[in-house]
Amino acid sequence: MTQLYQRVAFVGLGLIASSMALAMRRGGLVAETTGTARSAETRAIATEIALVDRVTDTAAQAVQGADLVVLCVPVGAMAAVAAEIAPHLARGATVTDVGSVKQAVNDAVGPHMPDHVHFIPGHPLAGTEHSGPRAGFAELFDNRWTILTPPDGTDADALDRLTRVWQGIGAQVDVMDPAHHDLVLAVTSHTPHLIAYTMVGVADDLRRVTDSEVIKYSAAGFRDFTRIAASDPTMWRDVFLTNKDATLEILGRFTEELFALQRAIRRGDGDHLHAYFTRTRAIRRGIIDAGQDTDAPDFGRSNR
């Protein structure tokens, strides 16, 4: 694989940045990597495990001379980081991000970007419930999708190079309008996470069922919810604050459907329930056919 960039700078060195850095190294895709994080602790860990070639104290230092800059901080921190790095960006550099919301990042970062750089927001649809520089692994993006939301008039060569680096670290790339991205993600990720958090909160609240019972008997379905609900609170707070409209729209529909099912249970309307549960099976089949999951006979991932 030829080297696509001479120097890649990561601002933020958490799960996503560390996975990208390891995957770029695996693929021999870039000549040099630099990076920084907010805390001295994270920077020290990154140095200790040699996550990037050079750890800098500030974002301004990290981006100097970089032809690719990747913003890997929570969505709510993007604007401040953009303002900080803007004066130090190299001419012709590409600036991208990995934030889970795209319209808000576009609005927060775009205005800070000088005309001489290419700003192409992005979002890898891959993650785990773990955070920080030690959480990364090179295979995170393999066979996963990354969505890029290039603004109108984006330079075709810059887009092509960024696409190839994502492909080089294992992902498939799609291009989408940021508003559509935010709606799709509200359905496939943001609302499911909110619901999982809510269900786990309910379980924790209930006096008549103890936490130890919830934990002991979690294999019956609840466990999958707790995995989702263990993700980083700051990241998810920012997602809901910045993808407010789409999340509220999907939540509204969710509540409507839930009320219909609740009424069917109350009335003992077994036909309604059976028809609903039959329809939802088809989507699962589609996911397995699309290679986005395996069909192994364990519920969750522990029976192996």
Residues at the site binding ligand NAP, with contacts judged by CB under 6 A: 12-17, 37-39, 42, 72-75, 77, 81, 98-100, 123-124, 127, 131-132, 135, 232, 235
What are the CA-CA distances from residue 257 to residues 183, 194, 267, 275 (Å)? 18, 16, 15, 13
CA 264 to chain centroid, in Å, comes to: 36
Give whichever of 127 and 178 is closer to ligand NAP, judged by the CB atom: 127
| Minimum distance of a second copy from residue 272's CB (angstroms) | 9
Spatial CA neighbour of 97 closest among 113, 135, 189, 43: 113
Question: Which one, 3 or 174, has the nearer CB to ligand NAP?
Answer: 174
Q: Closest approach of Cβ 199 to a second copy, in Å?
A: 6
State the binding partner of 184 from ligand NAP, a second copy, none, CB within 5 to 8 A by kind: a second copy
Instruction: Output b/e per residue, 219-245; b: 16+ Cβ within 10 A.
Output: eeebbebbebbebbeebbebbbebbee
Element (H, E) at 33: strand 30-36
Q: Report the alpha-carbon distance of residue 60 to residue 269 in Å, rounded.
A: 62
CA 19 to chain centre: 12
Q: Among residues 14 and 178, whose Cβ is nearest to ligand NAP?
A: 14
**Rounded Cα distance, 46 and 55, in Å:** 7
Residue 13 contact among a second copy, ligand NAP, none, beta carbon within 5 to 8 Å by kind: ligand NAP
| 3-state secondary structure at position 7 | strand
Tell the smallest beta-carbon distance from residue 202 to ligand NAP (Å).
22
Q: Which does 219 bind (CB under 5 to 8 A by kind): a second copy, ligand NAP, none?
A: a second copy
Q: Which is nearer to a second copy, 44 or 288 (CB)?
A: 288
Nearer to ligand NAP, 118 or 123 (CB): 123
Q: How far is the CB of 247 from ligand NAP (least distance, A)?
A: 14
Distance of closest approach, residue 113 Cβ to ligand NAP, in angstroms = 17
Residue 85, SS3?
Answer: helix
